[in-house]
Amino acid sequence: MRIGVDIMGGDFAPEATVLGAILAHQALPADVQLVLIGDKEQILKILARENVDAKQFEIVHTTEVIEMEDHPAKAFSAKQDSSIAVGFKMLYTKKLDGFASAGNTGAMLVATMYTIKAIPGVIRPCISTELPQYNNRSALLLDVGINPDCRPDVLYQYGVIGSVYANRVYGIEKPKVALLNIGSEDSKGNLVVKSSFDLMKDSKEFNFIGNIEGNQLFGNCPADVVVCDGFTGNVVLKQAEGVYHIMKDRGLSDEFFDRFNFENYGGTPVLGVNSTVIIGHGVSNDKAIKAMILKTKDVIEAQVSEKLIEIYK
């Protein structure tokens, strides 16, 4: 297995990304090769300072960086020797099994759609996040940012995609899928949600259990997969991050709420595309980069993309 890591992506790159790659390498099995994509001189300097043998990694030199403030589409087109552009070229040509970056999210999404592309039959790819639950369980929430406006057929398809992910990554035999709504009753919601409910209620493609409300998302969620539009999902995601930071600011520590810390998850996969792409948080430190790389390995091994290709072929 070969995992590409964007060494130049993120607010603290290349320091945090190289250190995170070192931590990940120590945790990965011997048959996983990390390919560090970025400025070779800077990568080698950090590895030497940490007394790490550079031969443990493959290093692909690049000369350009897509900055966080760059326009995603313009930068991806203009900076063809950037770490993101080169990473996606390698992914497209099967030189990588997966690619992970904490860099410019917009550029990552543009690159995904212009290179490896959506799986034929998938209307709109999405990104997801984990919802911490009791007993070390997690539920999956999607979409959390790509598509702020969704049609009912798109939300229905998220039920399929989320169910496949929960089965392949979480190992749940028949994942329970719910629709996030302002009430649990069948008649609640706006026009899009009510129409989505009508599509989902008789689905044979996933195990739909109905509507759930926001106060059911954390702790003891009745569903394994929660479907919503990207606007709503992003609000939920940022709220969860905010709760964690409030507790830390107030000097409160709790094992459950520590699971709201994004560093423990590292990144989120782009689901519904032809290969494994993981997007990390821009403020990722070395611990978060390590988690992002380990997440990439898990998603590759779960063959989520391959399963969705099989469903929609």
Q: Which two tokens stand for residue 136?
A: 């070390």
Q: For 1-122+272-303, which CATH superfamily applies?
A: Isopropylmalate Dehydrogenase (3.40.718.10)
Rg (C-alpha) for the chain, rounded Å, is 19
Query: What is the pLDDT, as a whole number, of residue 141?
Result: 95
Q: Say yes or no to pLDDT of 282 above 90.
A: no
Contact of 60 with 95, CB cutoff 8 Å: no
Q: Say yes or no to pLDDT of 313 above 80.
A: no
Task: Note the pLDDT tens digit of each residue in 17-39.
Answer: 999 999 999 999 999 999 999 99
Query: What is the pLDDT, as a whole number, of residue 254?
Result: 86
The residue extents of the domains of the chain are 1-122+272-303, 123-262
- Rounded distance between C-alpha atoms, residue 57 and residue 79, angstroms: 24
The kind and range of the H/E element at 100 are strand 98-101
> At 300, which amino acid appears?
I
Whether the domain at 1-122+272-303 and the domain at 123-262 fall into the same CATH topology: yes
Task: Note the pLDDT tens digit of each residue in 189-218.
Answer: 999 999 999 999 999 999 999 999 999 999
Query: What is the pLDDT, as a whole number, of residue 26?
Result: 95
Phi and psi for 57 in degrees, rounded to 5? -125, 160
Helix, strand and coil percent figures for the chain, each rounded to 5: 45, 20, 35
Question: Which pLDDT band holds residue 107 (cuts at 50, 70, 90)?
Answer: very high
As assigned by CATH, the class of the 123-262 domain is alpha beta
Task: Note the pLDDT tens digit of each residue in 34-84.
Answer: 999 999 999 999 999 999 999 999 999 999 999 988 898 999 999 999 999
Question: Which pLDDT band holds residue 312 (cuts at 50, 70, 90)?
Answer: confident
Task: Note the pLDDT tens digit of each residue in 221-278.
Answer: 999 999 999 999 999 998 988 988 899 899 988 888 888 887 787 888 999 999 999 9
Q: What is the percentage of the chain residues whose pLDDT exceeds 90? A: 78
- Rounded distance between C-alpha atoms, residue 84 and residue 63, angstroms: 11
Query: What is the pLDDT, as a whole number, of residue 60?
Result: 98
Residues 84-103: what's their mean pLDDT?
Answer: 96
Query: What is the pLDDT, as a whole number, of residue 82?
Result: 96
Query: What is the pLDDT, as a whole number, of residue 180?
Result: 97
Rounded to 10 degrees, the C-alpha dihedral 16/141/190/192 comes to 90
Contact of 140 with 127, CB cutoff 8 Å: no
Supply the mean pLDDT for the chain. 93
- Rounded distance between C-alpha atoms, residue 138 and residue 290, angstroms: 20
Q: CA neighbours within 13 Å on the CB side: how many for 209?
A: 16
